[in-house]
Chains A and B, each alone.
Chain A
Amino acid sequence: MSSQLDDMYRDIILDHFRAPRGKSKLDKKDFSSGGHNPSCGDEIEMDIKEENGVLKDIHVKCRGCAISVASGSILAEAVKGKPFEEVVKIAEEVRKILKGEEGVLSEDLEDVDALKGVRKFPVRVKCALLAWLTLIEGIKNYKSEDGKENPTISTDEDDK
């Protein structure tokens, strides 16, 4: 098997793809966010429960390639139970890393780090980014006064 392929589809990634975390629906949600990737058709929806500024629970539903599904699953695991401030910071760092910039992740985020392999496949970076951008937008929207009920993002608009 070519090592470049294994770099992208690391065991951690394949494990998340086969058994995505955050699959169970929430009994109660405080906000939702959706995103899609028009160039490949990946679609993601997430429901989030908040408690005193902490992301108490998250449900992620993703229809798409292995990378987008695994990324959504890794996200669900990484952000659950963390204060929103920290969640946004992690998501921003992931975004930097996937775009080839310097980014810092704490040691407990080993699974998030596994997404790095995608960088060797530039057309697939969007797939990995989708979940994180959707989360950032959802939180931003939830915190703003005139937030929309169900914000949706498109990765094609994030071409910085």
Chain B
Amino acid sequence: MPTKTDKRTTGSGRNDTGIDTNAVRADFPILTREINGHPLVYLDSAASSQKPKAVINSIVDYYENYHSNVHRGLHTLAEKATNAYENVRGRTAQFIGAPHVEEVIFTRGATESINAIASAWGDDNVGEGDEIVITEMEHHANFVPWYALAKRKNAILKKISITTDGQLDLSNLSEIITERTKVVAVSHMSNVLGTINPIKELAQAAHKVGAILVADGAQAVPHMPVNVSELGVDFYAFSSHKMLGPTGVGVLWGKKEILEKMQPFLYGGEMIREVSFEKVTWADLPNKFEAGTPNIADVIGFEAALDYLENLGMDNIRRHEIDVTTYAIEQLSKLKGITIQGPHDATMRGGAISFTDADIHPHDISTFLDSKGIAVRAGHHCAQPLMRAMNIIATARASFYIYNDRKDVDTLCNALTQMRSYFGL
């Protein structure tokens, strides 16, 4: 632990982690607004992060100065737009340590990326009686596509359970991942518990039986350094909008040799090499998987988000979040009635903290906090199987990012204390 947990940074916004939250906040126009007469305290970045001016401006710049369709034009604007768009592919590959640029496929979001794998790869590689392994803590985005594949193919859907402290229970892994297993799909970081899962070990276990590993990185990539080569995964999916970028852009990364063999999941323009009435041949990677006009503007905006994150440094971001998360867990634990779900050691988890109150439903918590200008998420967080496993109906979730600091934790805890007296508890 690099920071002293007893040190209050209230006021300065700077802690020992190299991120000046006051300076960061100044880059996010939305954070200056008030909600219900209070300054906005945005603690819902795990659902979607806010956007810095640089991202917003890059989209405006594109539309005002060089908008054109990509790839097919021969004029100046088309060339500029194509270069800008393709440049982001390279930047993205670099950002996640992908060995080949053409392994980066742009989609609408992590959900679409996982759906694409489950249908295009799944339909050709999973058959009757084969096994698909997921975990109990998956977001519906990494559960339902596999459930549907299992139904289509009469395959068997198996799960890795969770322990009481919100980790994956790997004690009987060899019984779960077997010779019949074709794919292991697992979240890199839980959107409910914050748990960081041992992707590398799971990838090794999958490869040992000839299965592939698909990682849902929607919560991990925004908050910690991720290197797909080091992790040894076969597919990795994430979304731009949770990492300062625009909505409507996702990344599907896959190993080149797997992507080359995989069938397209969308057909149309851009994804072909040659079309005749009798025969159509597919384009090479990455175009094979990007039929139609892509989301050019938002991909370009995504590059500004990557710039912003790289400028801060992903290691610094991770350290900053460990600091804020440690402080938040410490302070929330002191509050009467509040129970924190998931690991309590911030080095083992991300900054999405789910909690419940013994007497107050998460929706009442959220409504009350909103009246104080504090935005949190409440509900099942698209993880109903996990809620069932934990035997709770819903949680409230406060999630922290680069623009949050210990002062936001204090604001949250004060409001939660007021809440209990408001409800007469």
Contacts and interface: CB of A to CB of B under 8 A. Distances in A.
A122 interface: no
Contacts of A63: 393
B361 A64 contact: yes
B388 to A, nearest CB: 10
Nearest to B36: A2
Given A41-B380, A64-B361, A18 B424 contact: yes
A4 interface: yes
Nearest to A43: B393
Interface in B96-131: none
Contacts of B36: 2, 4
Contacts of A66: 360-361, 364, 423
Interface in B344-367: 360-364, 367
A5 interface: yes
A41 B363 CA distance: 10
Interface in B375-425: 379-380, 387, 393-394, 422-424
A38 to B, nearest CB: 9
Given A5-B368, A66-B360, 10 more contacts: A1-B422, A9-B423, A40-B393, A41-B379, A41-B393, A42-B393, A65-B362, A66-B361, A66-B364, A127-B363
Contact of B371 (A5, A43, A127): A5
B363 A124 contact: yes
8 contacts: A2-B36, A2-B37, A5-B371, A14-B423, A41-B380, A63-B393, A66-B361, A66-B423
Contacts of A68: 361
A66 B360 CA distance: 7
Contacts of B422: 1, 9
Given A66-B360, A127-B363, A2 B371 contact: yes
Interface in A1-42: 1-2, 4-5, 8-9, 14, 17-18, 39-42
Q: Which interface class (under 10, 10 to 19, 20 to 34, 35 or more) fits A?
A: 20 to 34
Interface of A: 1-2, 4-5, 8-9, 14, 17-18, 39-43, 63-68, 121, 124, 127
A40 B37 CA distance: 27
Interface of B: 36-37, 360-364, 367-368, 371, 379-380, 387, 393-394, 422-424
A14 B361 contact: no
A17 B363 CA distance: 14
B363 A40 contact: yes
A5 B422 CA distance: 11
Contacts of A65: 361-364
A12 to B, nearest CB: 13
A5 B367 contact: yes
A121 B408 CA distance: 25
B318 to A, nearest CB: 33
B363 A14 contact: no
A14 B364 contact: no
A142 B125 CA distance: 52
Contacts of A40: 361, 363, 379, 393-394
A14 B379 CA distance: 21
A17 B394 contact: no
Contact of A1 (B360, B361, B371, B424): B371
The 3 A-B residue pairs with the shortest CB-CB distance in the complex, in nearest-first order: A41-B393, A65-B361, A5-B371
Contacts of A39: 379
